[in-house]
Amino acid sequence: MRQIVVSLIIFVLTFFLFIGSGNEIVLKSSLLKEDTFKTIEYQKPERLQREGACSLVSDKTIYLTFDDGPSYLTNQILDILKEKEVPATFFLVGSNLDTYRETVKRAYIEGHTIGLHSNTHRYNEIYASLDAYVNDLKILKQRVKSIIKENPRIVRLPGGSSNVVSRKYKKGIVTEVTNYLNDKHYYYFDWNIDSLDASGRVSKEVIYNSVVNNLKMGANVVLMHDTNTKQTTVEALPLIIDYAKANGYTFARITKNTPVCHHHINN
Ligand SMILES: [Zn+2]
C-alpha cells in the first residue's frame, strides 16, 4: 500500500513539473498586475507554423509592424509609440489614405517606416497577374509618395509571401511577385510572430500572450493590424512594449538593412 502511495505522489509531482515547463504564459503574464489577465488562452499551434526564415542575429530585437492602416486608431498607436519611444513599421493600404494623410505624415516625421501593403487589398485582383500586382503597388506607391515625399521601398504582401489564397487566382504568382520585388530593389518582409489580431474581435489578452510568449533571441517581426476595429490591438500594445523592455528586448523599425524575414512560398 505504502509503495502505491509513494508511486502516486511521484507520478503527480512529475506531472505538474511537466505541465509547468510548458506554462510560460502564466510566468510571463505574472509580471503584470495579477488581475489584468484572468483568462489565459493558448494560441492554436498551427497558426505558428508560418514562422519564416528570419536571419539569425544574436540580439533581441522586436520589429512591430502594423498592416492595413491608416485608420481611425493610427493616432492612438502613434501616441503610445511616442510615449514609449518605440519605432515601428506601417504597411499601408489605399482605402483610408486620403482621410488620414496627416496621420501618415505624422508617422513618417516621428521616425517610423512607411511601407507598402496594397492599394486595393483585393486578393482576386492583385494576384490575378504580375501586371495587376505591379499596377496596384505603383498606384499605392505614388499616393504614399505624395504624402511623405519619399519613395517607399519596404513592402509586405497581402497574406504574406506564404499565402495559399493567391494560387486560386494564378498559380505561381507569389514567386513572380517576389522575383519582381527583388529585381526592382523593393524589400519585402513577412513576420515570425503573429499577434492573432487579424481574425474578428480578439481580446487584448490573446494578442498580448500571442506576442510575448513567442519572443526569442534574434529578430522578432510582429504582425499586428491597424484598422478601425482593432481597439484591442491598441490596448495590448503598451503592455507588450512594457513586457519586452523589462525583458531586455529593444525595438527597431524595418529598413532595407533589416535582417530578412521571409516565409516559405507555397504557391
Ligand atoms: Zn493586410
pLDDT in tens, 165-187: 999 999 999 999 999 999 999 99
**pLDDT for residue 24 is more than 50:** no
In a domain, 188, yes or no: yes
CB contact at 8 A, 221 and 189: yes
* 197 C-alpha to ligand 1 centroid (Å): 11
* 19 C-alpha to ligand 1 centroid (Å): 36
In a domain, 52, yes or no: yes
* 16 C-alpha to ligand 1 centroid (Å): 41
Q: CA-based Rg of the chain, rounded to a whole angstrom?
A: 21
Q: Same domain, yes or no, for 16 and 52?
A: no
Q: Same domain, yes or no, for 177 and 131?
A: yes
Q: Which domain holds residue 19?
A: 1-30
In a domain, 37, yes or no: no
Q: Same domain, yes or no, for 70 and 193?
A: yes
In a domain, 35, yes or no: no
The set of cell numbers assigned to 133 is 500586382
* 142 C-alpha to ligand 1 centroid (Å): 19
pLDDT in tens, 83-119: 999 999 999 999 999 999 999 999 999 999 999 999 9
Q: Same domain, yes or no, for 111 and 54?
A: yes
Averaged pLDDT, 126-143: 98
Confidence of residue 31 (pLDDT cuts 50, 70, 90): very low
In a domain, 51, yes or no: yes
* 225 C-alpha to ligand 1 centroid (Å): 8
Of 18-22, 213-217, 219-223, 224-228, minimum mean pLDDT range:
18-22
**pLDDT for residue 77 is more than 60:** yes
In a domain, 267, yes or no: no
* 205 C-alpha to ligand 1 centroid (Å): 22
**How confident is the prediction for the chain on average, in pLDDT?**
84
* Domain count within the chain: 2
Averaged pLDDT, 218-240: 96
How many Cα atoms sit within 13 Å of 171 on the Cβ side?
Answer: 0
Q: Same domain, yes or no, for 16 and 120?
A: no
Q: Look up the CATH number of the domain holding residue 256.
A: 3.20.20.370
Q: Same domain, yes or no, for 81 and 11?
A: no
Q: Same domain, yes or no, for 140 and 190?
A: yes
